[in-house]
Chains A and B, each alone.
Chain A
Amino acid sequence: MSVSRRDLLKKTLVGSAAAALPLDAFKFLSPEQAKAALAESPHRWGFLVDTTKCVGCGFCVKACKKENDVPYDEPITRTWVERYVITNDGEALVDSPHGGRDGFTEKKVMEHDVDPESIAKAFFVPKLCNQCKSPACVQVCPVGATYQTPDGVVLIDRSWCIGCGYCVMACPYGVRFFHPVHKVAEKCTFCYHRISKGLKTACVDNCSFGARQLCDLKDHNDPYTKVIMTQRVAVLKDEYGTKPQVFYIGLDKEVR
């Protein structure tokens, strides 16, 4: 009896091992899966930032942090607003206190007094994840914990991320950080839980001036897709070849 049971166990083990081996060894390259993956999504989410409209109120940052449970008082944020003050002699003063969460209410830039007479131009630039077409962060993830969804948003699998930080290093835009609660990489998701329900992102909804707009780049009737198609827009750091999908109006050479 005991012998036959051991035999049975042995056979089951060997059998399942044999069954598991050949399939599993190449699981990640299975052609069926690759084919299924080609099923196209009707959307390709993009974003339009009009820096000429931004007043630096920072309500977008506040809304983002609350909507997405990013610890409010910690110095990390999915989106932020930068202030650029360019003086007459070409010097650029830049700051983003608390990522612009409480807006810009001080005339001082980084503790420096700025003489109003010496300001040649000044403006605000909202930043967020560029949801790149060729995301460097995804390419370098060693475990497949960050990925691009079929509708073009780069997400992180919080249950699979090992927290190595390679994606954080690989992003040229500095949008990634470690979530202090989940202890995994974290970044802007274009409020995936909102846009997948037909809503706009929290930052777009809470911008009073229309400086931020979500758009569907596959929908040529989308008013903001039209702007991107018909007007002169720029992207950040295109030299890295990441093909950002957040487009800007009114960028300046000092904005990096």
Chain B
Amino acid sequence: MKTHVLRPLILAIVLVSCHLLFRHFYVPDDFGVNGKNFTFGFYRAGSIDDWKAIPVKYKGKELCAECHEEQYESNMASKHSIIQCENCHGPAMDHAETEEPLTIDKSRGLCLRCHAALPYPGSQRSELPAIDPEEHNVGMECAECHNPHKPSLEDM
């Protein structure tokens, strides 16, 4: 048997070894089967912490109530109590610490999201108080007449 035929094999083994050595240093140590099995749980464990570390932007109504008690009270007494402050005021982010003013969306379009009349039988949408945007005080901002915190005109 001529041994020269083994030379490509030796070359291949050397190449594979180089690859495995490189891989050893390249792949993070926490990479492996960290979940329930290889199919669904093969990953870098640190990735979960990366996701957990993302800061929360929408802080919720209760945080707003801590400083803006008056507005909170009046809003909670109205039909708009179900709406989050941040839907119109934008995400609080670190507003509580920095008191950086938030950009309020007072646009007509924002109100129309719920109050533009859509004739949809069987949908909750048709049960909301609604107007036809093409007829109801065209060109005006809703907030000129309605207080967004307590929108019913009788309450004003």
Contact = CB atoms under 8 A, between A and B. Distances in A.
B123 A30 contact: no
A148 B119 CA distance: 42
A103 B87 CA distance: 12
Interface in A213-236: none
Contacts of A17: 17, 20-21
Contact of B39 (A24, A102, A121, A138): A138
Nearest to B120: A122
B21 A20 contact: yes
Contacts, number: 188
B32 A159 contact: no
Nearest to B82: A208
A139 B39 contact: yes
Interface in A113-158: 116, 119-124, 134-135, 138-139, 144-150, 155, 157-158
Contacts of A53: 124
Interface string B43-73: 1100110111111111010000000000000
Contacts of B50: 157-159
A146 B51 CA distance: 12
Nearest to A156: B47
Contacts of A120: 121
A199 B57 CA distance: 12
Interface stretch (B1-9, B106-114, B136-144, B148-156): B106-114
Given A63-B87, A105-B113, A208-B84, A144 B51 contact: no
Contact of B113 (A20, A54, A59, A123): A59
A176 to B, nearest CB: 16
Contacts of A202: 57-58
Interface string B69-89: 000000000000011101100
B47 A33 contact: no
Interface of A: 16-17, 20-21, 24-25, 27-30, 33-34, 36-38, 52-59, 62-63, 66-67, 85, 102-107, 116, 119-124, 134-135, 138-139, 144-150, 155, 157-160, 189, 192-194, 196-197, 199, 202, 205-206, 208-209
Given A148-B35, A148-B41, A155-B51, 20 more contacts: A20-B24, A30-B32, A33-B34, A37-B35, A67-B57, A102-B113, A103-B116, A105-B116, A107-B119, A138-B39, A139-B39, A139-B40, A144-B44, A146-B43, A155-B47, A157-B44, A157-B50, A159-B47, A192-B52, A197-B52
23 contacts: A21-B20, A33-B33, A38-B36, A52-B124, A57-B113, A67-B58, A104-B118, A105-B133, A107-B119, A119-B119, A121-B123, A122-B120, A123-B123, A124-B123, A134-B40, A138-B40, A139-B40, A147-B40, A148-B36, A148-B40, A157-B50, A159-B44, A202-B57
